[in-house]
Amino acid sequence: MLIPTTVFCALRCPECGCLEVYSLSLFALGGGRSCWLECSCGTPLLGIGRQKGNCCWLQLNCTMCGNSHFWPVARRDLWGGSLRTLICEDTGLEVGFLGPGHLVRRAVTLHERSLAELAQDLGLVGEGWLGNACGGNNNTEA
């Protein structure tokens, strides 16, 4: 199987409420480096780093609880071609998706739809961060 060298990540910014899809190249993590995905407003969202061997870590600035979460992951889990859902350990809510572009895009669509339905049920339509998703700049060409 061909290993993809780019992984996509959908994250919502705790500062501006913007939901965007980011791409991350495997090569950005060469030689034990780490990198941070940043919102267009400059807020760091997700850190990804590499440790010795095939271990990686993810650190998320969580939209839901305001804390950060840290997960050790195997490199093959990041670039393995399947979708990984990032879940807030404090609230149990989905806070992001990581994986191949088409799977991330589908997850975001389903996620937005369920949030919209939830908001409708609660009578929250048009209020708060649910109505705040940015258009454009969703670079998921996969």
* Residue range at the interface with Zn ion (CB under 5 A); choices 20-28, 54-62, 96-104, 118-126: 54-62
Residue of 11, 48, 88, 103 that binds Zn ion (CB under 5 A) = 88
Residue of 6, 34, 43, 59 that binds Zn ion (CB under 5 A) = 43
Residue of 74, 90, 117, 137 that binds Zn ion (CB under 5 A) = 90
Q: Report the site for Zn ion in 13-42 (rule: CB under 5 A).
A: 13, 15-16, 18, 39, 41
Is the separation of the CB atoms in 73 and 57 below 8 Å? yes
Residue whose CB is less far from Zn ion, 54 or 137:
137
DSSP code string of 63-109: TTTSSEEEEEEEHHHHSSSS-EEEE-TTT--EEEEEE-HHHHHHHHH
Q: Tell how far CA 15 is from the center of its chain.
A: 15
